[in-house]
Chains A and B, each alone.
Chain A
Amino acid sequence: MADAGRHPNIRILTNTEVVDIEGRPGAFTVTLQKHPRFVEEDLCTGCRTCQSFCPVLMPNPFDEGLGEARAISVWCPQAVPAVAYVDRERCLHFQGKCGICLTVCKNNAVNFQQKRKRGKVNVGAIVITAGYEVFKPLKGPYGYGEFKNVVTSIEYERITNSTGPTGGEILRRSDYRVPHKIAWIQCVGSRDLKFGRSYCSAFCCTYAIKQALVTKDHHPDIETVIFHNDIRTFGKGFEDLFNRALSRGVRFVRSRPPLLRENPENGNIIVSYVAQDRLIREEFDMVVLSVGVVPAPGNRDLGRILGLEVNEHGFFEIHPFYPLEGADGKGIYVGGNSVFPMDIPDTICSSGAAAATAAELLASQRGSLAVKKQYPPERSVEGEEPRIGVFVCHCGTNIAGVVDVREVVQYVKGLKDVVYAENQLISCSNEGLRRITNLIRERGLNRVVVAACTPRTHEQIFREALREAGLNPYLLEMVNIREHCSWVHSMDKKEATEKAKELLRMAVSRARDLAPLKEPSLKVNPRALVLGGGLAGMTASLSLARQGFEVYLVERERELGGNLRHLHYTLEGGDPQKLLQKLRQRVEDEERIRLYLGYELLDFSGYVGNFKSVLVPVGGDGDQVEIEHGALIIATGGKPLEPSEYHYGESERVLTQLELERMMATTGIPEGIRTVVMIQCVESRNEKRPYCSRICCGEAVKNGLKLKETRPDLKVVVLYRDMRTYGFFEDYYRKAREKGVLFLPYDPERKPEVELEGDGFKVRWWVPTLGQDFELVADLLVLSVPVVPDGNRELAQRLGLPSTREGFFMEAHPKLRPVDFGTDGIFLCGMAHYPKYISETIAQAKTAALRAAVLLSQEEIRGSGAVCEVIEGLCIGCGACIEACTYGAIRLIEVKGGKKAQVNPVICRGDGLCSARCPTGAIRLNHFTDEQIMDQVDALFEA
């Protein structure tokens, strides 16, 4: 959020809705309506002084109404923009009283005269990520709203959060005691036709497990029980989470107990259910309802305005092969939970892909409206004595209410080299910043210390002020006397003032040593190499090509298509073969794509923006090809496991799901076959492959439906552990049951046994629901085998990239950076990342292309000045630093005196690990030099 808020090319319009749209793709005029928030956004600094004076107490909407808020407040600690708003319903001013905020706001930002405004914006494309709401189980048997200790999972999330209403202490609501026993009930408002929500909300299982684990982190002795009907941890790494929860004693009960009762004596919640044929009445101190996804209420209206269709669930309708384009979607792209319930990484991919598609449309105009700021030439401070200016911010009353700011300023004025010091009401306000810039010029300051809030959000803002005065931005030093001082020592004003003085003394001391730094830059080669010509590779290549970049697409096989070649149907009724043909055609027709069919990667070197790859024909015959490119996208895919169980290979009547699909699409099911048994999770979710392959449940449902469609007389039995048909796939699961496909669970401890018998099989297994052994004579056995990595490990080694235990590539961050690597310039998509459906693969591939395009569209990339630097004379070329670096920023180069380390400053992130490792102290971390830090530390003990 903060990144988006700070970005010069992103204009954020909050409290705003779309009223009308006209025009065509590439040239829309959108009429917007902005509702008043009664605070001027460009004047408010988010200091929250108004909030501390406001007399109106109201339930805090950010805390789900659990905590308290004021009628004027900043929505939440990390709100973007960090601007206050007025709750019109509660504010006393609108009842003719109060108005204290008007007087306490030092920046005159409060404006009760604000009116609703309409305006028009001209845009080329529109991306809709209207999000979702959570289900409120207000009416229904769960007792929510009636029993205090029944809370929704979102409320529980706030209860466990350190910024939440209980300060992060888990307390139940009836008596503010720490609960000993908590139950989660899954599927509240999901998979429930009674609430009109037939779909699965996809991420509740995972978040419930997370919450149970977080609870265990808070208090390991709290007993946690999750009531569920299928645990659906289908995402990457989620099965691990599930197993971790099991090993930490989280209890999982396959039973749905919707009727809750309250014990009137202690407020405990009684859950009654049957397990192992026993009636169990369990008392819990607290029950958390795992509430599901509800489409954003405005979807229908928005759909009407934009001409998009909304499906029967209230989400925007999409075609699975064009998962970003609404029904009529040229120029308007939809993503995230507006189209399908999804978790964070899927949302990033889905919305990223929507942005990528918009970028394809607008490629010809790229950069034409981008804002670039002009600064005066930089003044050299070399040889000057330090002339330090100090600015101490009141931050409204945030700081000044505790710390005696004037006393601090007086004190600072007495410090060595400080030529100017003053206190400011709000330093980050436009006025405050202008004053800093002017004073630098007037007083000839060459070092600036700002004592205010956190550099995390504000350093960039003050650095700008320096640059506008012609000063190198690295000559700024920030001291956080809000979070680190006034907020945490609000009860002891005197000591807080002393601490502020000490912090400033240290800062001044460090500022004295600050040196101007140059930000390094690198040229970028605007071409991309895509490894893998399956669905992901083709999609990514096409997206990049349409965005105007040249692409080298390398495929090991002699033809394009990868796994898509083996798919003949989809759940939704699409034809993957048509999609394949279309994509192939487009790839072949695209001038900007150079195809290397039958090639593989031999060698890879270089760094972000400047990679060099060597390709060789598979099998080794033919010439090597050397390619230079700025980005690399890995889309090498996966493959179905060849099973070693269940007589696979011994009988031609044992098939994998893909083989069954091929049989149905080509020869059809042989006449003599009457009974088909499918076994799920064959050789996955076990010790050896402890992950869920995500797509097999949908595949079994798809093939089961297809079997019933072509041969209604067939008996189709699916033996499963948990049916993981998440999102709208749940509807197909229900449809399959309606059509008579039998889904029967099996216990992983007692796996189904299969004996060959004549042409067929005898399948024996134990059905937990009935507690009885079953035997069935089957004519066809279909195994749902997992997707396994396809040669990833060797490739990962060659590229120096990490991979997971299972052999899939490991992205930079499983949640927040699902297509990036720690190494810049390399991106990931498709089944090389994890098994996924067609629509998900397309989305991820487009997102990878977008991330690559962000890099390739820059002529040069700039790094930070605060990076490591090798002092060549001291380096002995031992290479210890190379191992320490996680970004691959260091390499050894040959110089006259032997090998020396060299840091690529653009790749370096300035974490200083190498500097700490270097045995000779040959690596200096600029901006955090030993000298600067030691002086700062010394200053602490000076007084």
Chain B
Amino acid sequence: MVPDILVWISLAAFLGGIGWKVWGWFKGSLRREGGWGRLGAALRGIYGTILSRKVLVLLKALLLDVVLQLRTYREDRYRWLMHLLLYWGFGLLIITHALGKVLIEGYVSTAMPFLFLRDLFGAMALVGASMAAGRRLRGIPRFRSAPMDVYAIVVVALILLSGFLLKGVRITSYRAYLGMVSEYAALSEEEGRALEAYWVRNFGLVSPNIREVPEELVSEGAEVHEFSCASCHASPRWAFLSYGISKAVRPLARPLDRFGVPGGLRWFHVLLCLFALAILPFTKFFHLISVPLSLLLNAVIDPRRSSPLNLETKRMVELDACVHCGTCTAKCAVSATTEVIPNRAILPSEKIPSLKTLASGKPLGDEGLREILEGVYLCTNCLRCTVSCPSGIDLQELWFEAREALLQRGLVDPVLLTPFSFYRGLRREDVGEGYQRPILSLRERISRAFGPPVEPLSIGPPEVLDLSSDAQTFRVCFSCQTCTNVCPVVSQYERPKEVLGLLPHQIMRACALGLREMALGAPMLWMCLTCYQCQELCPQGVNVTDVLIELRGLMVKALKEGRDEVRPVSGM
């Protein structure tokens, strides 16, 4: 019915798109050259892996991470269930329904078990899709869904719903019935009437001819059915969901049939599927390919030993593997900063699109560049995003690479260097000489902006610190010093106050006293590793880390007001 040419076109678009995307993995880059050399390195790597014991690691990752999706399970059981239903429901639907004729010998869509399985898998996917929609509607703090997220859910839902509706209407369709009879059975008129009666009684058919169904006719029809149809048409009741729909549309069955709705629905369903297939590589659905790949790559690639070229390629795959699920943003230690600085690129999940643009070599624009700069520099390298990513993306590494890539281009946000200086220090070899320079210049700027307090101090109005309600919890601090005593940064120094300016509990106190300058000037804000130990152990429920992070945001804002923000620094 659907011209094969359409199938071939969409298949060609699909494969072409994939080829283009894969080439993008080798061509795109943040810090290293892309091109054929990278492809060669990748082939060598694949060859080496498949022929080594690493293949076992690969199989393990395939089972645990791809098939069972244990990473997702660890982070969020709701999402795991949702995703598993979608993944397995839709996947099996493709095998047992869309590709049934191609893959399965003796496949007949109306026979058992296919009739039942289609509805079963479809229902699974439908439950999964509604769970996904529910999750998006419920929302994740500070996270917003993108149009692509909506597209993905809507397309899946439309395909499934149109499929169910199609089947439901088809059950009742007299036209479809006649088509089947003429195609598969040669019946006398009497037999035809009997079969029709049987189908009306048992198979949900709505016939224009029959109102009352006499019993003997039905039992006669049963025989005809047994003889002509039963071998390849099971009772539609097995298609439990569609059958239910057929019952619902029964009163409208006649007009629907007359206006050719079943046929129209079928067109809609198939064309939608083909369309989705054709543009799949350019949509979120590409993660069907990129996420398993990312998971497998991360299982076998060792950052210390693998070729830098392959690492770069891996990062490009990872950029494609982000499904914008929001897990990283929910876990992000510095996401509270967005409460005081309205920059979405602070959130990890929102950095990915900009990084993709950067990697592809396209221009990002001044505003975009400023935002991504701020975003990558405000990260504290707490590793939570990497640990939690269900797609196994090493996000923290991406941020590091992005920072260094921007540094290579001479782009640096001088205000925002300190918190990751530890990490930079640890990776001195990657960074090169002079890694301390930005820190020192930052310190100087801060101390110029927020001079030491002059005694005696007075109590300021509490409104001077415009923090979110989470951070306003500093009010209930009763100075027990738990935060200070458990802080791993504090415990690095003999005389911590000399280095940190104020200790965490003193910062809470300074906030309560409205001592804005004093609080914002404390180097502690920059040293915080966002390990959250203080917040976890605070007996009074003060969100200590959130306070520190938001204060840091405030000070960034204060420092930047009216100043040049993005500027090339020579000699970096």
Which residues of chain A are near B513, meaning CB under 8 Å? 742, 744
Alpha-carbon separation in the docked complex, A627 to B10 (Å) = 113
Q: Are B476 and A258 in contact (CB under 8 A)?
A: no
Alpha-carbon separation in the docked complex, A229 to B537 (Å) = 15
Given the interface pairs A259-B537, A279-B491, the reply to whether A740 lies near B475 with Cβ below 8 Å is yes
Q: Are B481 and A256 in contact (CB under 8 A)?
A: yes
Which residues of chain B are near A4, meaning CB under 8 Å? none
Q: Which residue of chain A has its CB nearest to the CB of B496? A: A279
The stretch of A190-198, A446-454, A661-669, A854-862 in contact with B is A190-198
Partner pick for B495 among A191, A278, A738, A745, CB 8 A cutoff = A278
Given the interface pairs A191-B539, A193-B539, A194-B538, the reply to whether A715 lies near B459 with Cβ below 8 Å is yes
Which residues of chain A are near B541, meaning CB under 8 Å? 193-194
User: Closest CB-CB distance, B506 to chain A, in whole Å?
Assistant: 5
Q: Are A259 and B496 in contact (CB under 8 A)?
A: no
Q: Which residue of chain A has its CB nearest to the CB of B493? A: A279
Q: Are B456 and A773 in contact (CB under 8 A)?
A: yes
**Which residues A223-267 have CB closer than 8 A to chain B?**
229-230, 254-259
Partner pick for B537 among A194, A230, A717, CB 8 A cutoff = A194
**Which residues A728-773 have CB closer than 8 A to chain B?**
733-734, 737-738, 740, 742-745, 764, 767, 769-770, 772-773
Which residues of chain A are near B354, meaning CB under 8 Å? none
Is residue B117 contacting chain A, with contact meaning CB distance below 8 A? no
The stretch of A30-38, A40-48, A269-277, A550-558 in contact with B is A269-277
Is residue A868 contacting chain B, with contact meaning CB distance below 8 A? no
Contact flags B455-483 to A (C-beta < 8 A → 1, else 0): 11111001000000000000111111110
Q: Which residue of chain A has its CB nearest to the CB of B538? A: A194
Q: Are B482 and A256 in contact (CB under 8 A)?
A: yes
User: Closest CB-CB distance, A295 to chain B, in whole Å?
Assistant: 19
Q: Which residue of chain A has its CB nearest to the CB of B459? A: A776
Is residue A774 contacting chain B, with contact meaning CB distance below 8 A? yes
Alpha-carbon separation in the docked complex, A786 to B485 (Å) = 35
Is residue B486 contacting chain A, with contact meaning CB distance below 8 A? yes
Alpha-carbon separation in the docked complex, A135 to B402 (Å) = 50
Alpha-carbon separation in the docked complex, A733 to B476 (Å) = 9
User: Closest CB-CB distance, B133 to chain A, in whole Å?
Assistant: 35
Interface centre among A191, A769, A777 (most CB of B within 10 A): A769
User: Closest CB-CB distance, A519 to chain B, in whole Å?
Assistant: 58
User: Closest CB-CB distance, B195 to chain A, in whole Å?
Assistant: 67
Partner pick for A774 among B459, B462, B497, B537, CB 8 A cutoff = B459
Is residue B540 contacting chain A, with contact meaning CB distance below 8 A? yes
Partner pick for B482 among A258, A738, A774, CB 8 A cutoff = A258
Alpha-carbon separation in the docked complex, A767 to B509 (Å) = 10
Alpha-carbon separation in the docked complex, A274 to B510 (Å) = 18
Contact flags B427-459 to A (C-beta < 8 A → 1, else 0): 000000000000000000000000001011111
Partner pick for B490 among A256, A274, A737, A744, CB 8 A cutoff = A274
Is residue A187 contacting chain B, with contact meaning CB distance below 8 A? yes
Is residue A918 contacting chain B, with contact meaning CB distance below 8 A? no
Q: Are A277 and B496 in contact (CB under 8 A)?
A: yes
Interface centre among B453, B455, B538, B539 (most CB of A within 10 A): B539
Q: Are B459 and A193 in contact (CB under 8 A)?
A: no
Alpha-carbon separation in the docked complex, A484 to B120 (Å) = 85
**Which residues A568-586 have CB closer than 8 A to chain B?**
none
Which interface class (under 10, 10 to 19, 20 to 34, 35 or more) fits A? 35 or more
Q: Are A776 and B458 in contact (CB under 8 A)?
A: yes
Which residues of chain A are near B503, meaning CB under 8 Å? 274, 277
Alpha-carbon separation in the docked complex, A878 to B544 (Å) = 75
Alpha-carbon separation in the docked complex, A277 to B506 (Å) = 11
User: Closest CB-CB distance, A884 to chain B, in whole Å?
Assistant: 53
Q: Are B491 and A272 in contact (CB under 8 A)?
A: yes
Is residue A775 contacting chain B, with contact meaning CB distance below 8 A? yes
Which residues of chain B are near A433, meaning CB under 8 Å? none
Is residue B505 contacting chain A, with contact meaning CB distance below 8 A? yes
User: Closest CB-CB distance, B572 to chain A, in whole Å?
Assistant: 35
Alpha-carbon separation in the docked complex, A274 to B487 (Å) = 10
Is residue A723 contacting chain B, with contact meaning CB distance below 8 A? yes
User: Closest CB-CB distance, A611 to chain B, in whole Å?
Assistant: 50
Q: Which residue of chain B has its CB nearest to the CB of A230? A: B478
Q: Are A279 and B494 in contact (CB under 8 A)?
A: yes
Which residues of chain A are near B510, meaning CB under 8 Å? 770
Which residues of chain B are near A191, meaning CB under 8 Å? 478, 539-540
Q: Are B456 and A769 in contact (CB under 8 A)?
A: no
- Report the interface size for chain B: residues with CB under 8 A from the other chain: 41
Alpha-carbon separation in the docked complex, A274 to B479 (Å) = 12
Q: Are B538 and A772 in contact (CB under 8 A)?
A: no
Alpha-carbon separation in the docked complex, A769 to B477 (Å) = 12
User: Closest CB-CB distance, B528 to chain A, in whole Å?
Assistant: 16
Is residue B484 contacting chain A, with contact meaning CB distance below 8 A? yes
Which residues of chain B are near A743, meaning CB under 8 Å? 478
User: Closest CB-CB distance, B468 to chain A, in whole Å?
Assistant: 16
Given the interface pairs A272-B485, A734-B476, A775-B458, the reply to whether A277 lies near B497 with Cβ below 8 Å is yes
Is residue A141 contacting chain B, with contact meaning CB distance below 8 A? yes
Q: Are B494 and A740 in contact (CB under 8 A)?
A: no
Is residue B512 contacting chain A, with contact meaning CB distance below 8 A? yes
Q: Are A772 and B453 in contact (CB under 8 A)?
A: yes
Which residues of chain A are near B479, meaning CB under 8 Å? 229, 745, 769
Q: Are B480 and A277 in contact (CB under 8 A)?
A: no
Alpha-carbon separation in the docked complex, A733 to B479 (Å) = 13
**Which residues A100-120 have CB closer than 8 A to chain B?**
none
Which residues of chain B are near A737, meaning CB under 8 Å? 475-478
Q: Which residue of chain B has its CB nearest to the CB of A190? A: B539
Q: Are A274 and B484 in contact (CB under 8 A)?
A: yes
Partner pick for A740 among B462, B533, B536, CB 8 A cutoff = B462
Which residues of chain B are near A733, meaning CB under 8 Å? 478
Alpha-carbon separation in the docked complex, A742 to B496 (Å) = 26
Given the interface pairs A194-B538, A274-B503, A277-B496, the reply to whether A723 lies near B478 with Cβ below 8 Å is yes
Which residues of chain A are near B509, meaning CB under 8 Å? 767, 769-770
Contact flags A124-144 to B (C-beta < 8 A → 1, else 0): 000000000000000001000
Contact flags B245-278 to A (C-beta < 8 A → 1, else 0): 0000000000000000000000000000000000
Contact flags B324-348 to A (C-beta < 8 A → 1, else 0): 0000000000000000000000000
User: Closest CB-CB distance, A734 to chain B, in whole Å?
Assistant: 6
Which residues of chain B are near A259, meaning CB under 8 Å? 485-486, 533, 537
Alpha-carbon separation in the docked complex, A734 to B502 (Å) = 24
Q: Are A257 and B485 in contact (CB under 8 A)?
A: yes
Given the interface pairs A256-B485, A257-B485, the reply to whether A769 lies near B539 with Cβ below 8 Å is no
Alpha-carbon separation in the docked complex, A155 to B453 (Å) = 48
Q: Which residue of chain B has its CB nearest to the CB of A194? A: B539
**Which residues B390-443 have CB closer than 8 A to chain A?**
none
Q: Are B539 and A773 in contact (CB under 8 A)?
A: no
Q: Which residue of chain A has its CB nearest to the CB of B472? A: A738
User: Closest CB-CB distance, B243 to chain A, in whole Å?
Assistant: 50
Alpha-carbon separation in the docked complex, A715 to B455 (Å) = 21
Given the interface pairs A273-B485, A737-B478, A773-B457, the reply to whether A278 lies near B462 with Cβ below 8 Å is no
Which residues of chain A are near B538, meaning CB under 8 Å? 194
Q: Are B480 and A774 in contact (CB under 8 A)?
A: no
**Which residues B518-572 have CB closer than 8 A to chain A?**
533, 536-541
Interface centre among A274, A279, A777 (most CB of B within 10 A): A274
Q: Are B490 and A279 in contact (CB under 8 A)?
A: yes
Q: Which residue of chain B has its CB nearest to the CB of A253? A: B481
Which residues of chain A are near B512, meaning CB under 8 Å? 742
Given A274-B485, A279-B491; 11 other pairs, CB 8 A cutoff? A187-B480, A194-B541, A230-B478, A274-B481, A277-B497, A278-B494, A737-B475, A737-B477, A772-B453, A775-B456, A776-B459
| CB pairs A–B below 8 angstroms (9 shown) | A194-B539, A195-B539, A256-B482, A277-B498, A278-B495, A742-B512, A743-B478, A769-B479, A770-B506
6 closest A-B pairs by CB: A775-B456, A192-B539, A229-B480, A256-B480, A773-B456, A277-B497
A interface vs B, CB < 8 Å? 141, 187, 191-195, 229-230, 254-259, 272-274, 277-279, 715, 717, 723, 733-734, 737-738, 740, 742-745, 764, 767, 769-770, 772-777
